């Protein structure tokens, strides 16, 4: 079965997201833990969470993906920015335990001129402060496109972070198709080769989720502009190969394309039609 969903607004709670997902043919979803450009988070509604668990079990939703706000930068040169990242992620991970056993994705950060080695050490240091043996949430490092001073533009940089983290069993990777293509990994013409490289450097056992996004930019552009499936430089045929690849087809896929709900519904329908049962 294809596990496919998209990014949904969390403003009306978990039950609303679950029902919205089902209405567009999805069986999973992604959401921001709080305002993606700010720090405020709504209080957890216990009744909403309990009802969500009931509905998710009935409708076959087995995993969801939370996304940290974009403002979180654990390797900033500014101490206050790093402290914000620490407090925000700590609160997010605490809140995630209301929906145990799910995924939490974040961008590894930008070193802003300090150098990638410093950025890698800072991001790993934050994870060492926050990850706990008892948490049920798996924290995912997202593959990045490589614009500016982003950390995570290569599999080697992600592996370097993981290698410095003590509780490695709490860590995974979310592969973003737009980002890796823009970073120079040719998932269109050499998907097998890219996955083999990922396995050699990071290990495919750490790949826990995939962001399905076409790219507005050409290969290896080191930019980050998502496009609708089949309307960018990656192309619809490549997405058929991705969702059906034997090493990937069992993973949850999340759309972050520039769409409204009707557009997401159309993309989910398209991907289901391409999925080989």
Known catalytic residue: 18?
no
Catalytically annotated residue among 211, 214, 264, 267 = 211
Known catalytic residue: 208?
no
Known catalytic residue: 107?
yes
Catalytically annotated residue among 18, 92, 176, 267 = 176
Instruction: Note whether 132 and 167 are within 8 A (CB).
Output: yes
Q: What share of the chain is helix, strand, coil (3-state, %, to 5)?
A: 40, 15, 45
Known catalytic residue: 224?
yes
Hey, what are 113's tokens?
């001129």
- CA 4 – CA 251 distance, rounded (Å): 9
Catalytically annotated residue among 111, 224, 264, 267 = 224
Catalytically annotated residue among 7, 34, 107, 111 = 107
Catalytically annotated residue among 18, 142, 182, 267 = 142
Known catalytic residue: 70?
yes
- CA 265 – CA 202 distance, rounded (Å): 33
Catalytically annotated residue among 153, 179, 206, 208 = 179
- CA 156 – CA 29 distance, rounded (Å): 29
Known catalytic residue: 53?
no
Catalytically annotated residue among 50, 70, 169, 237 = 70
Known catalytic residue: 256?
yes
Known catalytic residue: 179?
yes
- CA 78 – CA 80 distance, rounded (Å): 6
Known catalytic residue: 245?
no
Known catalytic residue: 92?
no
Known catalytic residue: 67?
yes
Catalytic residue numbers read 37, 67, 70, 107, 142, 176, 179, 211, 224, 226, 256
């Amino acid at each position: 079965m294809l596990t496919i969903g998209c990014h949904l607004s969390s403003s009306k709670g978990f039950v609303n997201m679950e029902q919205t997902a089902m209405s567009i043919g999805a069986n999973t979803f992604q959401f921001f833990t709080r305002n993606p450009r700010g720090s405020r988070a709504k209080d957890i509604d216990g009744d909403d969470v309990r009802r969500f668990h009931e509905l998710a079990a009935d409708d076959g939703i087995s995993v969801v993906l939370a996304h940290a706000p974009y403002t979180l930068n654990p390797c900033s040169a500014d101490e206050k920015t790093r402290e914000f990242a620490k407090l925000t992620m700590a609160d997010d991970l605490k809140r995630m335990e209301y929906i145990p056993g799910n995924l939490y994705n974040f961008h590894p950060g930008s070193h802003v001129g300090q150098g990638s080695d410093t950025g890698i050490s800072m991001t790993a240091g934050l994870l060492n402060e926050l990850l706990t043996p008892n948490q049920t949430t798996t924290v995912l490092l997202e593959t990045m496109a490589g614009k500016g001073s982003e950390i995570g533009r290569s599999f080697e940089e992600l592996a370097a972070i993981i290698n410095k983290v003590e509780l490695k069993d709490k860590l995974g990777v979310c592969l973003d198709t737009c980002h890796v293509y823009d970073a120079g990994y040719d998932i269109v013409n050499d998907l097998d080769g890219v996955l083999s490289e990922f396995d050699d450097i990071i290990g495919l056992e750490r790949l826990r989720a995939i962001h399905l996004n076409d790219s507005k930019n050409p290969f290896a552009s080191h930019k980050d502009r998502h496009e609708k499936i089949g309307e960018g430089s990656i192309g619809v045929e490549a997405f058929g190969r991705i969702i059906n690849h034997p090493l990937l087809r069992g993973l949850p896929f999340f759309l972050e394309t520039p769409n409204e709900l009707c557009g997401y519904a159309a993309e989910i329908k398209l991907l289901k039609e391409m999925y080989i049962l």
